[in-house]
Structure 1
């Protein structure tokens, strides 16, 4: 039966039903013994309540943990050892795209994490910001590539292979391409760069619903050679979400802390090659967490001794669709820009009739704040702190 079972059986309200012969004999005993036993019983009550309370809460916690809603694909008993999925000693790429890093002086590689079926989004990116003057004038030193997983669908796979043959910008790794595998996708990006891009200076990770001003990004990076660089839109004081219906729900069995470490929004961030190596090695020793930006730029960066830093040109918000704003030197990224919006703003940005003479940094900031009010943002859900350290 054991001590734990006995503790569960203690019920303070039952004390008066168990008479002690010293206190309550068959004839009732004398008054002194009765008073003595009454005082002893009262004195024991707090101890019994403490024991009962402790065991009750342990039982409640155990029951709560058992009934926690699991993340699809990452249940309580699923191994979160990244080495089991990334296989660092094996080739895992379905389409390795080795020619991407053939240039001995690759300055910047932008890797767009894209869902397999998002053919239109990739096409729009190729036709817009991936064809910026910095790209066409320095084709050997700046590249844009798309990272995909395995669709487990032969028709989709055939289309991806045709796309790769046509554009030579598809990297495909052999993991199931799903939302809850975004962490695997990002770590596979680190693995691919570590294995295949020995001469690249900087790597940007972004998504396929993003606008990226390549010209401004290159100007920022060419100010000086930088190492130990991990920069983007910094999120501080974020709390794990316990609402199981929320897109960013985090079960207790995956993360036990009350706050996340400071991290960069996964919508777009830049890192130097030395940081890629350090994050990759840290990831191989850090239990997987399904929210890739928290995991990679928060947990793994902390483990590797890397401090993520904020730059106002990066945002997780959708900026106002203003061509002058998107051309302004204060802007590198904008989020939630769909294919038609991307083509529209890009066409306006490159129009000879565009007049931005009256556009200033002040109006750019006002437009950015206006854009930040649209849509439900993740950082609003997690009650982002405005104070970053």
Structure 2
């Protein structure tokens, strides 16, 4: 008897369920990527932001079970005995070092114990398949200690994973934060204006997500679109509601509840829509905040230092610095607000 004959003879005596596992497990391995790490959803395992989108973005009924934090454990440790008035979580990618530096030099520069209160920030990032980029991001974090990295490939199609990384990091590493702003590294944020909004809307923020919010938006069925969603992924005609991922604000209570309920909400690659699913399942609301702009607010002038502009999208690093250094008189604000 050859070794192959012996193999098939032994296999005949193996229980059916074990055979099924032997057959299915390699297939799952190929579909889900090179590591499971507790994930129970389709992780995109290549750094591909191009169109058409990767085939494994969708996984019916899959949820995010666990996320491994591999960098950024001690950002809030120094301030563990203090409440944090505001925690800013910023999406970034390895290559965007100039954008990060511009924010550190401008509106994030008072993020410890500045005049606007105790404000912390963290840049959220996944892994890169490029060893050089991984080394550089580690060296950058050694200097600034403000980068949180998760054990998943950094990709546009993993942005929902990145959001949940931020919420897990908040819950486990920076739990004293009272409010959380999720935004991107190309967004200008008027911190004084944001603090005023928090004071005004604090009662609503306990059970809502706030920013530039939308209701009854139709899913994009154009297969060539960056935001394409098939009817299999989402058969309903409209989304229940969501706030633009360019900047949304939530309380610690809302963030904790969203993180908890996400274990029961099937994965969806559009991160702001996914958060909207969680909000709707909780029975929470969407609150539109004045001054939040999901596009670039024009003209770029002293309005950026008034309550007229609290967030503005697609602001290049040099423009961030220009806004920060822009001389604006008190008389301008009085004239504008009148």
Q: Same fold (TM over 0.5)?
A: yes
Between the two proteins, the alignment pairs up a number of residues equal to: 284
How far apart are the structure 1 equivalents of 2:218 and 2:181?
26
Query: What TM-score do you get using the length of structure 1 for normalisation?
Result: 0.68
The 4+ residue runs of structure 1 with deviation greater than 4 A are 132-135, 352-355
Q: 1:331 aligns with which of 304, 309, 312?
A: 309
Tell me the equivalent position of 1:288.
267
Q: Give 3-state SS (helix, strand or coil) of 1:254's partner.
A: coil
SS at 1:164's partner residue? helix
Q: CA deviation at 1:98?
A: 2.3
Match of 1:209 in 2: 186
1:72 and 2:44 matched: no
Given candidates 247, 253, 256, the residue that maps to 1:277 is 256
1:95 corresponds, among 71, 78, 81, to 71
| Other structure's SS at 2:325 match | helix
- How far residue 208 of structure 1 moved from its aligned partner, in angstroms, is 0.8
CA distance in structure 2 between the aligned counterparts of 1:308 and 1:163, rounded to whole angstroms: 36
Quick check: 1:304 aligned with 2:282?
yes
- For residues 352 and 361 of structure 1, the distance between their equivalents in structure 2, rounded to whole angstroms, comes to 14
Q: CA separation in 2, counterparts of 1:194 and 1:212?
A: 23
Q: Name the SS of the counterpart of 2:291 in structure 1.
A: coil
Residues 230 and 269, structure 1, Cα contact 8 Å, conserved in 2? yes
- 5+ residue gaps in structure 1? 1-68, 363-389
Verify the 8 A CA contact 2:57 2:157 in the aligned structure 1.
Answer: no
Shift of 1:70: 7.8
SS in 2 for 1:129: coil
Return the alpha-carbon distance in structure 2 between the equivalents of residues 329 and 261 of structure 1: 29
Residue deviations 1:196-231, cap 9 Å, x none?
222211011001110000111112223475422421
Which residue of 245, 255, 260 corresponds with 2:224? 245
Query: Higher helix proportion, which one?
Result: 1
Find the residue that maps to 1:287 and give its secondary structure: coil
Distance 1:135 1:72, change over 3 A: farther
TM-score of the aligned structures, taking structure 2 as reference length:
0.77
**Deviation at residue 240 of structure 1 after TM alignment:** 0.6
Confirm whether residue 263 of structure 1 aligns to residue 245 of structure 2: no
Give the whole-Å Cα distance in 2 for the aligned partners of 1:249 and 1:103. Answer: 45
Gaps of 5+ in 2: 1-50
* TM-aligned CA deviation for residue 137 of structure 1: 2.7
Whole-angstrom CA distance in 1 between matches of 2:329 and 2:291:
26
Matched, 1:199 2:176: yes
Q: Which residue of 1 aligns with 2:62?
A: 81
Conserved 8 A contact 1:132-1:214: no
State whether structure 2 residue 141 is matched by structure 1 residue 164.
yes
